[in-house]
Structures are given as C-alpha cells and as structure tokens.
Amino acid sequence: MRHHIAAGRSFATFAKPAEGSAISRLLRVVPTGVLLAGCSLLAGCLDGASDDVEVSETAQYATVSSYTSSGCSTAVVIGLSKQIADEISCQSPTLLKRFEPTTRLQITSSAVLPYLHSTAKTDLEAVASTRTVQINSAFRTLPQQYLLYRWYQQGRCGITAAATPGRSNHQSGRAIDVSNYSTLISAMSAKGWAHDVPGDAVHFDHLSSPDIRGKDVLAFQRLWNRNHPADKIAEDGAYGPQTEARLKQAPATGFAIGPTCMTPNMMFAVDVLSVDGPDRAQPQSRAHYRVTLQNNGQADWPGTAVLRVASGTTQLHDPSWISPTEISDLGAPIAAGTMGEIAFDITTPAVTEETPIFEQLELSDGGSTIGTVNIALTVVPGMEEPTSGEADDQYDAQEVAGGCSATGGGSSSTGVVLGLALVALARRRRR
Ligand SMILES: [Zn+2]
C-alpha cells in the first residue's frame, strides 16, 4: 500500500474493482472520522473501523516522489498538474487556455492535460472543425515531466528519451502529440502547426505561439508558497534543488489551497452523499444513476453547472447526454448549505469480457471545477439481470464497507483518484 490519504474530514475511497466485484460507490462521505486509505489498509475494509476512529493530526497524502518507481502513467499527478495549469491561466488567461474535447477533437487518455496557448488552441480547433484529431499529449507540467524523467533515468516504462524537468517542449504550451498524425500533416501545417521534430512523428509545435516554459515552474512555486508560508522558496520560474525538493514532497492530487482565481469555496465544497446505480450491467445496456450532493461551500451552485467526464473520454456515453463528455446540468440550483440530486443515464460499451469501468466525473460551472464524483461498474457479458445498487443508504458507513470488500489496494492509478476536492477540504479544515 503506497497511497496515503489526507485525514480529517472523513471519506471513503475505493480502488479499481477486482474482477467480478460489485462496487457502485467509489467515493462516499460518511459523517464522522473514518480514515480509510484504500481497502487493503484495513482488513475487510471498514470492518472493525468505527465512525469515531481518531485520525492523525498530520495529514498525509501520496507525494509526487512516491510515484518515481511505480506506474507508467502521469495521470497520477493530474490533480497537481491541473492546479499548475489553472494557476498559469489565472495569471494570464491568454497564455494558457483549456480546450474542450468534441466528437472530432478527441483526447485519448486521462493523462492528457487539455491546455494550450490561446492562439494554438484556436488553430487546433480550426483543424478539428473538419477532421478528427486524436490528442495523445498536450500541455505538460513540472510534476509530469519530473516523473517521466525519473522513469527514463531508471530505464522504466520504455522511455528512450526525456527532457529534464522544465525543459520539455510540451511544457511550452504550444506542443501536441497527435496519434493520427499521418493524415493531418498538411491540414495542421495550414493552421500554423509545424511537424518539426525528426524522429518524433506524432509531435507538432505551434511556432507562432509563445514558448511559456518556466511558467509551470513559477506556478508550482507560487502554489507551494501559498500552502507553506513557513517554507517559502524563490518565485523565479527556475527549476533548481530548492524547487525539486518541494516538488518531491508535493501532493500528487493537488494542494489544499488551489489557484488564486478560483475561490476555494467554489472548488472544494462538494460532499458526495450517495451514488445510487447498478454495480454490474450487461454490455450495451442502459443504466440509471442518481447522485446526491451536499453543497458545503458559501456559494450557490447554479442550475447550469454541468456534470462531465473529467478525462475528456469515456466508454459510458449515453444519447441523453448534452455532448460526448457533458452528461447533464444540475437543472435546479443547489443553494449553499443544502443538498441536491443529479440523475443521469449511461450506456455500457460492447465488450466480450467482464470489464470493470471507473469514471471520474467533474461538476463544473464555467471554467471552475466545483468538485468530483467517481462512479464504477463492471460490464458483465451474459449476466442474467442487472443488480441494483443499494438504495437509501445515505450516511451509512456500513454500506460503504459492504461495497469495498473486493479490492486489493490498487497498484493502478485509480487507487489514488481520491476525490480531490474532499482531500483538499479535509486538509484546509485542519489548519
Ligand atoms: Zn510531443
């Protein structure tokens, strides 16, 4: 077990379900202090852990350096990376802008950070207005490059070359890797995207956009200092031993206090009270989910806030959704301090083997993320009838324990998708 979870505000999180397991709730909030660091930490999950377990005063979390010798996906630091990207956008909105996936502009994995300089973004969207563009990689931040470089140094993950942290051309904010590049070279070039790195066929640079390398280092330094007033480092945008030492200790899922232009109460105010839906379903079948949320922030959530797929790609798209990755809006506002519900359908993919699916959903209002909700189900070919998730189990920690019996502590990155918002909320409250 290598993941540690910030303690304080209680919540439960489960790793990816083992084959045949039945888990519908990945993220549950229980009323009082249960510290649950993935299922394997406590035998039988919550067995023996009561609601009033005393948690440590010292918040712990998976640090960036805890991933230097395991895994091969930088998705483990996507939480911290998003904060860095958003911190840059906060400082200068044209320097870095988030782009949204569409039917033609496809993002191929949850490790992709969909941010580019505003000009590069416009020219990418222009290409994708008429052609399918599959993005393997876009903006990359310091913690991602740090891990890639360390893995490369150790000969891990099949990485044959990696720039030192801070120096990757993907940290420039004007680089993308396109998996279906071969049919797109001339269309990309017509929009200013140079196919200019010999031996790196998927790579394109938008050379008329400025190179913002160093801004991610500066953004990290600012985030670190905001969260560690007693251990401030120089905000110089230069990656040296001081910055490296802090980067290693930084929480992979993001700091308690996030980017300046997002108010903490907008970002970190969701408690997921329950997720009701099937644990298992047939391939190509439709399933209904009902998620109950508590608004613990000071701001009301507008009815226009949208629940969407955080990674930008999903196997669960249903025709009832707003777009390929936007599921539904709230419909009715949820006032600060109150509870509300969002219900939606998913359609399971056509698979021939039992397939566990984990999906992180994000509730967002305009550019701000309000919080995250995780769902999981196992698609089971030939099963007799769908099992429904246990209903009416809000606030019931035992139900969480029941759903958690299956997993083994998660060597996969999903073990650490913790509901970033709740982790952050927990840590802030302890200060
Ligand atoms: Zn590249």
Could you give phi then psi for residue 62, rounded to 5 degrees? -70, 125
- Section 251-269 average pLDDT: 70
Q: Which of 3-12, 313-322, 370-379 has the highest mean pLDDT?
A: 313-322
The answer to whether residue 238 scores a pLDDT higher than 90 is yes
Q: In this structure, are residues 51 and 32 in contact, taking their beta carbons and an 8 Å threshold?
A: yes
- Section 372-386 average pLDDT: 78
Q: In this structure, are residues 139 and 173 in contact, taking their beta carbons and an 8 Å threshold?
A: yes
Q: In the prediction, which pLDDT does 389 show?
A: 42
Cα angle for residues 412, 11, 357 (degrees, 5° grid): 35
Name the residue with tokens 């377990």. 53
Q: In this predicted model, what pLDDT tens digit does every residue of 120-164 receive, in sequence order?
A: 999 999 999 999 999 999 999 999 999 999 999 999 999 988 999
The answer to whether residue 270 scores a pLDDT higher than 90 is no
For residue 139, how far is its CA from the centre of ligand 1 (angstroms)? 10
For residue 244, how far is its CA from the centre of ligand 1 (angstroms)? 23
For residue 175, how far is its CA from the centre of ligand 1 (angstroms)? 6
**What is the C-alpha radius of gyration for the chain, rounded to an integer number of angstroms?**
21
Tokens of residue 310, six digits: 């955080």
The CATH number, out of the four listed (2.60.40.10, 1.10.3720.10, 3.30.420.40, 3.40.640.10), of the domain defined by the range 17-29+263-405: 2.60.40.10
**Cα–Cα nearest to 293, from 329, 339, 331:** 339
Burial class (CB in 10 A: 0-12, 13-18, 19+), 281: buried
Q: In the prediction, which pLDDT does 385 show?
A: 60
- SS3 for 57-107 is CCCCCCEHHHHCCCCCCHHHHHHHHHHHHHHHHHHCCCCCEECCCCCCEEE
Domain with CATH 3.30.1380.10 in the chain: 81-206
pTM for the whole structure:
0.54
Tokens of residue 408, six digits: 């083994």
The answer to whether residue 179 scores a pLDDT higher than 80 is yes
Q: In this predicted model, what pLDDT tens digit does every residue of 14-56 receive, in sequence order?
A: 233 333 333 322 222 222 222 222 222 222 222 333 333 333 3
The answer to whether residue 85 scores a pLDDT higher than 90 is yes
Q: In the prediction, which pLDDT does 60 show?
A: 59
- Section 297-304 average pLDDT: 80
- Section 90-114 average pLDDT: 88
Count CA atoms closer than 13 A to 241's CA, side-chain side: 0
| DSSP per-residue string spanning 322-388 | SSSSEEEE-SS-B-TT-EEEEEEEEE----SS-EEEEEEEEEEETTEEEEEEEEEEEE-TT-SSPBP
Count CA atoms closer than 13 A to 298's CA, side-chain side: 3
Count how many residues are written for the chain. Answer: 431
For residue 206, how far is its CA from the centre of ligand 1 (angstroms)? 12
Domain with CATH 2.60.40.10 in the chain: 17-29+263-405
Which of the four pLDDT bands, split at 50, 70 and 90, describes residue 256? confident
For residue 69, how far is its CA from the centre of ligand 1 (angstroms)? 23
For residue 142, how far is its CA from the centre of ligand 1 (angstroms)? 15
| CATH-assigned architecture of domain 81-206 | 2-Layer Sandwich (3.30)
Q: In the prediction, which pLDDT does 297 show?
A: 67
For residue 202, how far is its CA from the centre of ligand 1 (angstroms)? 6
- Section 390-410 average pLDDT: 28
For residue 419, how far is its CA from the centre of ligand 1 (angstroms)? 29
For residue 170, how far is its CA from the centre of ligand 1 (angstroms)? 6
Tell me the pLDDT of the chain averaged across its residues.
75
For residue 122, how far is its CA from the centre of ligand 1 (angstroms)? 19
- Section 231-258 average pLDDT: 94
Q: In the prediction, which pLDDT does 214 show?
A: 96
Which of the four pLDDT bands, split at 50, 70 and 90, describes residue 412? very low
Q: Write out the H or E segment, with its range, that includes residue 298.
A: none
CB atoms within 10 A of CB 240: 12
Alpha-carbon span 269 to 198, nearest angstrom: 47
Q: Which of 27-31, 163-167, 377-381 has the highest mean pLDDT?
A: 163-167
- Section 203-232 average pLDDT: 96
Alpha-carbon span 38 to 1, nearest angstrom: 8
Which of the four pLDDT bands, split at 50, 70 and 90, describes residue 310? confident
Q: Write out the H or E segment, with its range, that includes residue 41.
A: none
Alpha-carbon span 170 to 160, nearest angstrom: 16
Higher pLDDT, 37 or 201: 201
For residue 177, how far is its CA from the centre of ligand 1 (angstroms)? 5
